[in-house]
């Protein structure tokens, strides 16, 4: 969701007296100033949003009357120079499970507003695990956002969250059972990441497992590989018990990922009648988030290589852009600037 676009439109909806047409609600709370010592109240509202439908705390709006004043110089300085890692630590110390949130500013009507956006939690309910001395937070409490009000959850809403959780678990089991039925129980193995090893549902106690070398290398960074007959010395570390034979299988990246950025640029240019450059492909791969998926992208000896799937994904994306915007050169120019700005933030 584009938070800046949403908030800009929201804050511009004012009446002839300069008052906001929107009131505080289930997904909106106003704060005129931002105070670092107000963590408990902010976190309480954020947890309530996480347990309901998500929402915004907007800083720079007075509640009575509802006027978009913007943050004053001191409050803005506090907000912009605030280390959000401190809020993350505070939330993790006082609530469980974790939930996703974002912090930012938006400029509107010559004023600057701050916001804290909280997503609806995937794993509800979010529970307060540590209270505060002043009673703002209570250990064991589940906060919920009602119409313009944050309070402890009522029975009806809590029952709804529990039923939703049960339904999700049932669907997850149905998907697992469907996959087992598709391949057959005798061909299914269960990898227990708690350190209890890999077990099979079939009659055979041992089987040969083929795992590509790169996957084993990644696993070793996260778990301790323990051969049968050996013991894990460091308590608390995740471990895999290897029963049977686990054999690395070499995968030829030249066959699975035969392209570099220049080669893809040339082939797509020829296929679509465009003039793509190497940098355009880099920006497109970033835009489509292909770097995070080995199906599309690999890095071998500091060289970036791409698969046929990546090429097809980029072609599909460009064809969709061409249908809605014939001026592709303008789109690519904007994308190059956006990618350049992103690379600058990473340096």
Find out whether 79 and 105 touch, Cβ atoms under 8 Å: yes
Find out whether 114 and 4 touch, Cβ atoms under 8 Å: no
Q: Is the pTM of this model over 0.85?
A: no
pLDDT for 49 equals 97
Spatial separation of the C-alpha atoms in residues 137 and 139, rounded to whole Å: 7
Spatial separation of the C-alpha atoms in residues 4 and 14, rounded to whole Å: 17
Find out whether 58 and 29 touch, Cβ atoms under 8 Å: yes
pLDDT for 228 equals 43
Question: For strand 55-59 and strand 28-31, is the pairing parallel, antiparallel, or unpaired?
Answer: parallel
Angle between helices 278-287 and 328-345 (to 10 degrees): 70
CA atoms within 13 A on the CB side of 276: 28
The residue count of the chain comes to 347
Written in H, E and C, the secondary structure of 206-274 is CCEEEEEHHHHHHHHHHCEEEECCCCCCCCCCCEEEECCEEEEECCCHHHHCCECHHHHHHHHHHHHCC
3-state secondary structure of 51: helix
Find out whether 53 and 26 touch, Cβ atoms under 8 Å: yes
Kindly list the distances between the CA atom of residue 321 and the CA atoms of 226, 263, 331, in Å, as whole numbers in the listed order: 50, 21, 8
pLDDT for 233 equals 46
pLDDT for 20 equals 93
Dig out the tokens for 257 from the structure: 């990922």
**DSSP letters along 97-121, please?**
S---EEEEEEEETTEEEEEEEEPPP
Spatial separation of the C-alpha atoms in residues 9 and 26, rounded to whole Å: 18
Spatial separation of the C-alpha atoms in residues 18 and 200, rounded to whole Å: 68
pLDDT tens track of the chain, all 347 residues? 688 899 999 999 999 988 999 999 999 999 999 988 899 999 999 999 999 999 999 999 998 889 999 999 999 998 988 888 888 889 999 999 999 999 999 999 999 999 999 999 999 999 999 999 999 999 999 999 998 899 999 999 999 999 999 998 999 888 888 888 887 777 777 766 555 556 666 555 555 555 555 555 555 555 554 444 444 444 454 555 554 555 555 556 667 778 788 888 888 888 877 788 888 888 888 888 887 677 777 776 556 677 777 778 788 877 777 776 667 777 888 888 888 778 777 65
Spatial separation of the C-alpha atoms in residues 57 and 28, rounded to whole Å: 6
Backbone angles phi, psi at 108, to 5 degrees: -155, 130
Find out whether 287 and 335 touch, Cβ atoms under 8 Å: yes
CA atoms within 13 A on the CB side of 299: 5
Find out whether 95 and 138 touch, Cβ atoms under 8 Å: no
- Residue matched to tokens 């912009």: 80
Question: Residue 97, exposed/middle/buried by CB under 10 A (0-12, 13-18, 19+)?
Answer: middle
Shortest CA distance to 306 belongs to which of 262, 265, 260? 260
Neighbours of 84 (CB within 10 A): 12
Question: For strand 224-227 and strand 239-242, is the pairing parallel, antiparallel, or unpaired?
Answer: parallel
């Amino acid at each position: 969701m584009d938070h800046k676009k949403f908030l800009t439109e929201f804050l511009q909806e004012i009446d002839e007296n300069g008052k906001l047409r929107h009131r505080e609600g289930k997904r909106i709370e106003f704060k005129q100033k931002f105070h670092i010592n107000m963590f408990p109240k902010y976190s309480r509202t954020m947890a309530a949003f996480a347990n309901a439908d998500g929402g915004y705390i907007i800083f720079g709006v007075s509640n009575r009357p509802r006027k978009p004043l913007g943050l004053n110089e001191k409050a803005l300085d506090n907000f912009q120079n605030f280390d959000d890692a401190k809020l993350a630590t505070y939330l993790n110390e006082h609530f469980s499970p974790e939930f996703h949130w974002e912090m930012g500013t938006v400029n509107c009507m010559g004023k600057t507003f701050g916001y804290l956006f909280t997503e609806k939690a995937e794993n509800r309910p979010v529970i307060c695990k540590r209270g505060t001395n002043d009673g703002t937070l209570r250990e064991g409490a589940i906060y919920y956002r009602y119409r313009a009000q944050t309070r402890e959850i009522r029975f009806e809403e809590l029952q709804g969250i529990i039923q939703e959780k049960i339904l999700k678990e049932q669907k997850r089991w149905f998907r697992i059972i469907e996959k087992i039925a598709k391949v057959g129980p005798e061909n299914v193995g269960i990898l227990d990441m708690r350190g209890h090893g890999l077990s099979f549902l079939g009659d055979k106690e041992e089987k040969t497992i083929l795992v590509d070398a790169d996957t084993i290398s990644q696993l070793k960074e996260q778990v301790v590989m323990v051969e049968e007959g050996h013991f894990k010395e460091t308590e608390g570390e995740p471990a895999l018990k290897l029963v049977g034979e686990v054999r690395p299988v070499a995968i030829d990246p030249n066959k699975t990922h035969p392209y570099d950025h220049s080669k893809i640029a040339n082939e797509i240019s020829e296929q679509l009648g465009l003039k793509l450059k190497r940098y355009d492909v880099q920006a497109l791969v970033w835009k489509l988030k292909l770097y995070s998926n080995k199906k599309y992208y690999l890095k071998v000896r500091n060289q970036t290589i791409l698969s046929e799937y990546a090429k097809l994904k980029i072609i599909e994306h460009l064809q969709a852009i061409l249908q809605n915007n014939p001026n592709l050169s303008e789109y690519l120019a904007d994308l190059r600037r956006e990618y350049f700005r992103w690379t600058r933030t990473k340096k």
